[in-house]
């Protein structure tokens, strides 16, 4: 699903003393099938922005096109249709589980949106396999599951609706390194095998660099940068000025460049590649 | 109470086991550990390793099923928890869940009011605590308007004002963005230097654990490792087996060794590694 924003403003509580402009003239394009990472610190407007992707919020000014749906200040009566096609995984999705059994919880979304339930149920085993949940858990209470399993349950419910656009709001917050990697690999896998557009909101520059094909930096309610993930290295001074952190590997590469007077051709997260260059330089095999 | 090394033991676990319900499996099994006064100890482990339960046992949010947890020579029990909580403050994971006051000043003063601290003394401590966490000038702000990292620092100020012996941080950086995380770790380091506090941090981030003097690794409710951060990284092969990830510097060190380059000890930071390599191996 392609997304095009044109001069979008969003103002909370307009015409009151609490008026707050969270988005200011935001314009950008997210191509169909892309994986875009949205980066910015707390208060930069990230949450406000992604809530427009499924019509939870509508632009105060300007227009937002999500696939064939156009959102503006005017009321749109197709919101329900839009929401069927846009899957949202918020932070701590397991906090939104509430049904008696895992199965009921997974099926709640599709049922609520009026999907044909016999068809949906046929897809269930496949989705469970995709997200890595064992079928034996279906009749258990979601509250008896481990944190990782709860998160997979919440994700299964979203994936069952086969969204054209999947929006992930810091989906790995609070997980340990192992759980984190598993969840990100899952989303990367789903992105590659499905005809889907993915938007990831994250603080984790390593994930942004590793998984995205486009990065967008928000700052003070405006698009500050929209670029290839390599820009996370080439524009590192700029990003650090904004108070954004770089992957540790990039700090290390930068340090090596300054200490040893070498230049890396490409940013990398691989310790192997960095070690190779470092060793080469120390052994004097390279005359840069 | 002193240990064999002559240090003053502030917290000890003596054969501690814990289960939430009788029918549940043990979350902690036969744990023995000691934390000295003035020490910074990290307790690390994957989700479900029992590390947060260990923290709860220290301030009586949970009471040992078997064995004894002792804080400053008092066994933690229903009778002693209020006394113990004066000595041991705790900062939790979610900054949203720990506010009671409508302003920062009210919030920091809340604990002192409960302790019956005199008004004039309260004002002094309020000022000092906010200075210590670099939040002076925020007295009249509403806590909910602050960033996550600022909220955590206000929570720390509230604890400092009660003049505790030890502060336990239970995954206190997990929900913060990188900037908030760094600020909080800097604050902890400063406090430790200036106030001689004992610090316990519960985390699964080994970069964070490398700030501490000693690391205790829990795995499936048991103590799996105890030693300095450097020692832990030397034994990096075991980390993936217990659901932890070796930090980047350790990975880089391993790769460097493959090129036949060695340094004198396991590095904690890439700067340490690069500087050593440069000194030892650069051919002019």
Distance CA A267, CA A240 (A): 16
How far B259 CA lies from chain A's nearest CA (Å)?
7
CA distance B209 to chain A (A): 14
Residues of chain B below pLDDT 70: 1-6, 283-284
Which are the contacts of B109, defined by CB distance < 8 A and separation ≥ 6? B101, B122, B126, B161
> According to the model, what pLDDT value does residue A287 have?
45
Per the structure, how many domains does chain B have? 1
Q: How far from each other are the two terminal CA atoms of chain B, in whole angstroms?
A: 56
- Judge contact between A37 and A229, C-beta under 8 A: yes
Q: What is the pLDDT of residue B279?
A: 87
DSSP A184-238: HHHHHHHHHHTT-EEEEE-S-HHHHHHH-SEEEEEETTEEEEEE-TTHHHHTHHH
The reply to whether residue A244 touches residue B178, judged by beta carbons under 8 angstroms, is yes
Specify the fold of A3-246.
Rossmann fold (3.40.50)
Chain B: closest CA distance from residue A119 (Å): 36
pLDDT at A90: 84
* CB nearest to B281's CB, from A179, A243, A282: A282
A108-163 tens-digit pLDDT:
989 988 899 999 999 999 999 888 888 999 999 888 887 778 888 999 999 999 99
At residue A285 the predicted structure's pLDDT band, cuts being 50, 70 and 90, is: low
Contacts of A191-194 with C-beta under 8 Å, sequence gap 24+, read: A191/A35, A191/A166, A194/A162
Closest CA to B272 of B233, B236, B244, B241: B233
Strands B166-170 and B198-203: parallel
- By CB atoms closer than 10 A (0-12, 13-18, 19+), residue A182 is middle
Residue B18: DSSP 8-state? E
Instruction: Output A19 or B71, whichever has higher pLDDT.
Output: B71
- Interior angle at CA A284, CA A281 and CA A286, nearest 5: 70
pLDDT at B6: 63
Residue A188 to residues A199, A230, B24: CA-CA distances in angstroms? 11, 18, 36
In terms of phi and psi (left: phi > 0; alpha: psi -120 to 50; beta: otherwise), the region of B102 is alpha
Q: What is the pLDDT of residue B1?
A: 62
pLDDT tens for A29-82 read 999 999 999 998 877 899 899 999 999 999 999 999 999 999 999 888 899 999
Does B275 touch chain A if contact means CB atoms closer than 8 Å? yes
Q: Which residues of chain B have a CB within 8 Å of the CB of A251?
A: 270
Q: What is the pLDDT of residue B3?
A: 65
Is there a domain that residue B254 lies in?
no
- Quick check: is B260 in a domain? no
Distances (CA, A) of A270 to A209, B241, B255: 12, 21, 10
* B201 located within any domain: yes
* N residues, chain B: 284
Q: Chain B contacts of A146, Cβ < 8 Å?
A: 47-48
Q: What is the pLDDT of residue B4?
A: 60
B20: left (phi over 0), alpha (psi -120 to 50) or beta: alpha
Q: Any residues with CB less than 8 A from the CB of A137 and at least 6 apart, and which?
A: A102, A145, A149, A153
Spatial CB neighbours of B202, under 8 Å, sequence gap ≥ 6: B42, B43, B44, B51, B52, B54, B55, B168, B169, B170, B171
Are the C-beta atoms of B255 and A272 separated by less than 8 Å? yes
Give a yes or no: residue B168 inside a domain.
yes
Q: Which residues pair with B39 in a beta bridge?
A: none
Does any CB of chain B come closer than 8 Å to the CB of residue A240? Answer: no
Contacts of B186 (CB under 8 A, 6+ apart): none
Closest residue to A252, CB basis, from B175, B180, B252: B252
Residue B49 near residue B25 (C-beta atoms within 8 A): no
Closest-CA distance, A112 to chain B, in angstroms, reads: 31
In chain A, where the domains are located: 3-246, 247-288
- Are B73 and B14 in contact, with CB atoms under 8 Å apart? no
Q: Is residue A167 exposed (0-12), middle (13-18) or buried (19+ Cβ within 10 Å)?
A: buried
pLDDT over threshold 60, residue A288: no
**CATH code of the domain containing B185:** 3.40.50.300
Tell me how far apart the alpha carbons of residues B214 and B200 are, in angstroms, rounded to a whole number. Answer: 10
Q: Do residue A278 and residue B256 have CB atoms under 8 angstroms apart?
A: yes
Tell me the per-residue pLDDT of A229-274, one tens digit each, with 9 for 90 and over: 999 999 999 998 888 888 999 999 999 999 888 888 889 999 999 9
Residue B1 lies in a domain: no
B175 neighbors B93 (Cβ within 8 angstroms): yes
Where in the sequence is the domain holding B216, given as residue range(s)? Answer: 9-246
Q: List strands edge to edge, sheet with A69-71.
A: A20-30, A3-12, A61-66, A69-71
ipTM confidence score:
0.81
Q: How many CA atoms lie within 13 A of A223 on its CB side?
A: 19
Q: Which of residues 173-192 of A touch B (CB under 8 A)?
A: 173-179, 181
* DSSP of A88-124: EE-SSGGGG--SSSHHHHHHHHHHHTT--HHHHHHHH
Put simply, the answer to whether B244 touches A41 (Cβ < 8 Å) is no
Confidence of residue A286 (pLDDT cuts 50, 70, 90): very low
Cβ proximity of B16 and B67 under 8 Å: yes
């Amino acid at each position: 699903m392609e997304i095009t924003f044109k001069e979008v403003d969003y103002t909370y509580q307009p015409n009151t003393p609490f008026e707050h402009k969270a988005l200011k003239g935001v314009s950008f394009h997210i191509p169909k099938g892309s994986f875009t990472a949205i980066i910015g610190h707390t208060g930069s407007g990230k949450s406000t922005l992604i809530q427009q992707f499924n019509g939870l919020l509508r632009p105060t000014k300007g227009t937002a096109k999500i696939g064939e749906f156009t959102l503006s200040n005017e009321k749109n009566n197709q919101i329900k249709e839009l929401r069927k096609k846009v899957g949202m995984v918020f932070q701590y999705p397991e906090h939104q589980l509430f049904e008696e059994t895992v199965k009921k919880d997974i099926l709640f979304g599709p049922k609520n949106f009026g999907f044909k339930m016999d068809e949906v149920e046929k897809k269930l085993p496949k989705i469970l396999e995709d997200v890595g949940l064992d079928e034996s858990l279906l009749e258990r209470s979601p509250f008896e599951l481990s944190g990782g399993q709860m998160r997979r349950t919440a994700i299964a419910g979203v994936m069952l609706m086969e969204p054209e656009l999947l929006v992930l709001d810091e989906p790995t917050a609070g997980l340990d390194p192992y759980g984190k990697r598993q969840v990100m690999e899952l989303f990367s896998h789903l992105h590659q095998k499905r005809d889907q557009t993915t938007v990831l909101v994250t603080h984790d520059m390593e994930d942004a660099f590793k998984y995205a094909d486009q990065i967008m930096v928000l700052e003070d309610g405006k698009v500050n940068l929209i670029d290839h993930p390599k820009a996370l290295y080439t524009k590192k001074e700029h990003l650090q000025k904004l108070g954004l952190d770089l992957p540790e590997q990039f700090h290390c590469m930068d340090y090596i460049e300054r200490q040893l007077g070498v230049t890396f051709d490409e940013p990398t997260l691989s310790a192997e590649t960095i070690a190779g260059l470092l060793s080469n330089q120390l052994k004097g095999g390279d005359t840069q | 109470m002193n240990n064999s090394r002559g240090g003053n033991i502030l917290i000890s676990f003596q054969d501690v086991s814990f289960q939430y319900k009788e029918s549940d499996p043990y979350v902690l099994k036969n744990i023995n550990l000691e934390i000295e006064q003035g020490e910074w100890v990290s307790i690390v482990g994957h989700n479900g390793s029992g590390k947060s339960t260990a923290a709860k046992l220290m301030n009586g949010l949970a009471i040992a099923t078997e064995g004894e947890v002792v804080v400053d020579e008092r066994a933690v029990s229903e009778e002693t928890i209020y006394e113990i909580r004066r000595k041991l403050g705790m900062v939790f994971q979610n900054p949203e869940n720990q506010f009671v006051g409508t302003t920062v000043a009210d919030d920091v003063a809340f604990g002192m009011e409960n302790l019956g601290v005199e008004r004039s003394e309260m004002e002094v401590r309020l000022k000092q605590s906010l200075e210590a966490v670099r939040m002076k000038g925020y007295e009249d702000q509403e806590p909910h308007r602050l960033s996550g990292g600022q909220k955590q620092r206000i929570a720390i100020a509230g604890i400092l004002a009660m003049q505790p012996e030890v502060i336990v941080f239970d995954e206190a950086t997990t929900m913060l963005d990188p900037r908030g995380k760094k600020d909080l770790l800097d604050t902890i380091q400063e406090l430790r230097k200036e106030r001689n506090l004992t610090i316990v941090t519960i985390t699964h981030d080994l970069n964070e654990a490398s700030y501490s003097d000693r690391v205790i690794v829990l795995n499936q409710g048991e103590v799996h490792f105890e030693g300095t951060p450097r020692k832990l990284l030397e034994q990096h092969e075991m980390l993936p087996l217990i659901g932890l990830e070796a930090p980047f510097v350790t990975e880089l060190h391993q790769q460097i060794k493959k090129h036949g380059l060695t340094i004198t000890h396991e590095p904690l930071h890439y700067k340490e590694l690069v500087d050593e390599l440069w000194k030892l191996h650069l051919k002019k």
